[in-house]
Amino acid sequence: MKPGTITHTIAALLSSISSLFAHSTPAKAESPKVKASKKSDKLSDNLLNVGSLLFSPKHSASPEPGERYPWKKDIVTTVFWIGEQPSGNNPVPNRASSWDKNWTKNYGGFDDPNPARRSNYIPVKFTPRQNPFYCALPYSDKATTGHRPEAARVVPWFKEAYQGPAISTCKDRWVAIHKGNRTVYAQWEDAGPFRTDHWQYVFGNERPKPNLNKGAGLDVSPAVRDYLGLNETDVTDWKFVEFSEVPRGPWSTHGENNTFVINDGKKGEKLAEAPKGGGGIIAR
């Protein structure tokens, strides 16, 4: 073999060995550099915020802090009265209610809506035996026998108000009704307008269903109309209230079903039963 050939062979061999060692020792990979971007961080935050909004439950109204029930806003409100005869937009007479088949008799007569025949929120011909400040909402908890299947689940106060299968837990419940700068308080005495099964609106977040009276979701008595200065068809806000939240007013003076009158009667009985003479403790 020629010297040049030997030299070339050795050089090639050394090159191969060097290449072999180079491949057997992997090069340290450089970790990729990521540049933090305030814009990308902000976009990520915005996406999270949008996601939380998209998947958060929607409510038409929420109770104010410290209050149990929310306001139902902008509800079409119509006027009805005990003893009302059927008419075009009122196919059902109001001689009886959903909870009192002798409603007119127990009230004391026809609750004449004519302002000329009313004084101090009551008809001039007689003094009502029930609260003249009454209203109707489109739900009844009563069935033919007992209560509706959903009543115990949807009526918020069902358990505390339950007095047996024959008695409604909704009747006589207090409702606040607001218009402009005035708020009136009335007792729930009938189911309507038009429906008696719409608990999703009365206790939930739905709006009233369409009906012949422009989607009315609340009926109010002439006394409520006069106190708020309502038109025959108007718009109000309403909500349920606990009796402890109801102030005294013209709604607290009449009616055997009126919580104020009932409580005042109990106080009178206690005073009458109190021992006479100087031996008692003086209340201060």
Domain of 208: which CATH number? 2.40.40.10
Q: What pLDDT is attached to residue 124?
A: 98
Q: What pLDDT is attached to residue 85?
A: 87
Residue type, 275: P
Domains contained in the chain, number: 1
Q: What pLDDT is attached to residue 92?
A: 74
CA 183, CA 175: separation in Å to the nearest integer?
Answer: 10
CA 97, CA 103: separation in Å to the nearest integer?
Answer: 6
Q: Is residue 108 part of a domain?
A: yes
Q: What pLDDT is attached to residue 93?
A: 77
Q: Is residue 31 part of a domain?
A: no
What domain range is 206 assigned to?
72-269
Q: What pLDDT is attached to residue 64?
A: 66
Q: Is residue 150 part of a domain?
A: yes
Token readout for 220 is: 């109010």
Taking CA 221 as the corner, what is the angle to CA 220 and CA 224, rounded to the nearest 5 degrees?
Answer: 80
**For the whole model, what pTM was predicted?**
0.74
Q: Is residue 239 part of a domain?
A: yes
Q: Is residue 83 part of a domain?
A: yes
* Phi–psi pair at 243, nearest 5 degrees: -60, -35
Q: Is residue 13 part of a domain?
A: no
Q: Tokens 């109204």: give the residue.
A: 61
Q: Is residue 277 part of a domain?
A: no
Q: Tokens 């201060």: give the residue.
A: 284
Tens of pLDDT, residue by residue, the chain (284 residues): 444 444 444 444 444 444 444 444 433 333 333 333 333 333 333 333 323 322 223 334 566 666 789 999 999 999 999 999 887 667 677 899 999 999 999 999 999 999 999 999 999 999 999 999 999 999 999 999 999 999 999 999 999 999 999 999 999 999 999 999 999 999 999 999 999 999 999 999 999 999 999 999 999 999 999 999 999 999 999 999 999 999 999 999 999 999 999 999 998 777 677 665 544 444 43
Q: Is residue 158 part of a domain?
A: yes
The set of residues, in sequence order, having a beta carbon less than 8 Å from that of 99 and lying 6+ positions away, is 140, 142, 168, 170, 171, 189, 190, 191
